[in-house]
Amino acid sequence: MFSFQITASVSATVLLMISFYFVHEWTKDNHKFRLPPGPHPVPFLGNIHQLPSSFHQRTFAEWCIKYGDIVYARLFRTPALVINSVQAAQDLMEKRSSKYSDRPRFILLAELMGWDCVITHLKYGDRFRKHRKWIQNAFQEKTSLASYCPVQRRETYVLLSGLAETPSALMSHLRRFTAAMIVEIAYGHSIISLDDELIRLAEQATKETVESGSAGSMLVDFFPALKYVPMWMPGAGFKRKASEVKRLVRRMLDTPFEMVKDAMASGTASPSFTASLLEETWNSGKLTEEDEDDIKGAAGVLYGAATDTTGAVLATFILAMVLHPEVYKRAQEEIDRVIGSERLPDFDDREALPYLECVIKEVLRWNCPVPLGLPHRVISNDEYRGYDIPSGSMIIANLWAMTQNEQFYSEPETFRPERFLDMDSETASISDPRNVVFGFGRRICPGQQFADSSVWLVAANIIATMNICKVRDGSGAEITPMASFIPGFVSHPRDFPCDIRPRSKKVLTTLAGLRAIYNP
């Protein structure tokens, strides 16, 4: 009995000391800094308890209405600044990019799951700049982008043929389109079907990763000591899962790299991003283990960063066209007037199709593909608008709120491409959602031009060749799908029914001829 009392007394003392520590940690910033306004926190939890289980961007937007476009919050012990306006994002993440380009410590994804060699998770520094230079050279130089055009055309025509043959497999066709382009560019490997080993490895690794949680949002990210919890302990399921995912990630990164390396040794390698980096490294000296890890990460991130987001944008485009047949009809009329029926749209036609340009912009605005992006981290103390921003703060850019801002987009929940036609050129440029959805500053998506041109080419060619409409039920009544999106890092439309058919027999003949020319 006495022993129990001593134990209870010690436990109570320890708990009291822990509570005092967290209260002290909690209040010291408030005394030291003049912080931006935000919701009232509680000790230990901070503002975590005020966030719903999903669609955090909506709660952050509500905070914006109450506290302003920069909102200070605490996620457990981590200070966080939520940015809800383009102006504030540009002021901090672009004009002060040297301070705002770091990443928080992604313990789950980077340290436990093995995504530590990809640029999206790298800390700001020499290694980050090395990866970024590689990817920028591959996806921003005009000669590089021009070299991808044949692949983009070929995979667009394969996609169209698939839609003509099996329209019910829409999502599979979109997945194959995005995967085939990136795998060929990254590794020089042609994809025939989604059963390809590289695709299965990549999809399994990315699927298991996404289902395990978002970057910088898991408990272990806020309490690093949990990283050292033994796997056998109750509550360590996240470590056991992370260990399984890490094996998948390693196979995803290692398998195509070794394939390219072997092909180069035998003289049979096709041109690719990986082959170019290997050759460049060999020419400058010995290929080290660190070099290999960097090349694997730089190539591997292309798949994860491009396929999921591009697929989500294209699926959103199809959903919007099903829900708004008047928009689709107007886009078809523009294509028919400018292109005619003797050929299909190509990159050189883009400037002559202004309404289609508005449709693409509205697709990106209506369903922002990555609502919150990946969080940044401020490297040192800063001051903005008279407020202090503490060093180490997590910077969360609410891209969704920026694309739903009523100041720029009236009735933002409504899909209306004409809104961009109604703007003068200066306002249209400022309000272009492409200035937002690809991120800000030195962390902006380096593949923006490639992704944008790929989406445009597919949309233009679908409009030129296919009729899209609502499915009808057994009694002949139209079935109108919901404009509903799956919560998560990337915003995908929920599965929806639609009717896709070639506009004419001539389309089928044209596609058959193009498949014969571009057949991989």
Give me the pLDDT at residue 28, please.
53
Mean pLDDT of the 394-398 span = 97
3-state class of 72 per DSSP?
strand
Q: Is the pTM of this model over 0.95?
A: no
Reading the block at residue 324, the tokens are 């708004």
* Residue 390 burial (10 A CB sphere; 0-12, 13-18, 19+): middle
Reduce the secondary structure of 147-181 to three states and give it as a string.
HHHHHHHHHHHHHHHHHHHCHHHHHHHHHHHHHHH
3-state class of 70 per DSSP?
strand
Mean pLDDT of the 449-475 span = 96
**Nearest C-alpha neighbor of 210 from the set 250, 241, 174, 172:** 241
* Chain-centroid distance, C-alpha 453: 16
User: What does pLDDT average to over the chain?
Assistant: 90
The domain at 33-518 falls in which architecture? Orthogonal Bundle (1.10)
Give me the pLDDT at residue 31, please.
60
Mean pLDDT of the 74-100 span = 96
Instruction: Report whether pLDDT(238) > 80.
Output: yes
In 217-304, beta strands by DSSP E: none
Instruction: Report whether pLDDT(387) > 60.
Output: yes
Give me the pLDDT at residue 426, please.
84
Give me the pLDDT at residue 9, please.
44
Instruction: Report whether pLDDT(214) > 70.
Output: no
Q: Return the H-helix or E-strand segment holding 312.
A: helix 289-323
Q: Who wins on pLDDT, 218 or 371?
A: 371
Give me the pLDDT at residue 7, please.
42
pLDDT tens per residue across span 158-181: 999 999 999 999 999 999 999 999
- CA angle, corner 286, sides to 280 and 292, nearest 5? 70
Q: Are 402 and 84 in contact (CB under 8 A)?
A: yes
**Nearest C-alpha neighbor of 227 from the set 239, 218, 216:** 239
Instruction: Report whether pLDDT(14) > 70.
Output: no
Mean pLDDT of the 365-393 span = 96
* Residue 517 burial (10 A CB sphere; 0-12, 13-18, 19+): exposed
Q: pLDDT grade, residue 367 (50/70/90)?
A: very high
Q: Are 254 and 296 in contact (CB under 8 A)?
A: yes
Q: Who wins on pLDDT, 274 or 2?
A: 274
107 secondary structure, DSSP code:
I
The full set of domain ranges for the chain reads 33-518
Reading the block at residue 112, the tokens are 């436990």
CA-based end-to-end distance of the chain: 80
Q: pLDDT grade, residue 427 (50/70/90)?
A: confident
pLDDT tens per residue across span 245-299: 999 999 999 999 999 999 999 999 999 999 999 999 999 888 899 999 999 999 9
Q: pLDDT grade, residue 216 (50/70/90)?
A: low
Q: Please tell me whether 445 is known to bind a ligand.
A: yes
Q: pLDDT grade, residue 2 (50/70/90)?
A: very low
Mean pLDDT of the 442-449 span = 94
Reading the block at residue 224, the tokens are 């690093």
Q: Any idea of the CA torsion for 157, 158, 164, 169, to the nearest 10 degrees?
A: -140
- CA angle, corner 339, sides to 336 and 342, nearest 5? 95
Q: Any idea of the CA torsion for 276, 282, 288, 294, to the nearest 10 degrees?
A: -10
Mean pLDDT of the 325-354 span = 96
- CB-side neighbour CA atoms (13 Å) of 362: 28
Give me the pLDDT at residue 29, please.
52
Q: pLDDT grade, residue 217 (50/70/90)?
A: low
Q: pLDDT grade, residue 15 (50/70/90)?
A: very low
CA pair distance 390, 78, nearest whole angstrom: 10
Give me the pLDDT at residue 303, please.
85
Backbone dihedral region of 384: left (phi > 0), alpha (psi from -120 to 50 degrees) or beta? beta
Number of other CB atoms surrounding residue 263 within 10 Å: 18
490 secondary structure, DSSP code:
S
Instruction: Report whether pLDDT(449) > 60.
Output: yes
Instruction: Report whether pLDDT(147) > 90.
Output: yes
3-state class of 42 per DSSP?
strand
Reading the block at residue 12, the tokens are 């109570």
**Nearest C-alpha neighbor of 203 from the set 240, 256, 252:** 252
Give me the pLDDT at residue 27, please.
52
Range from 72-76, 187-191, 198-202, 513-517 carrying the lowest mean pLDDT: 513-517
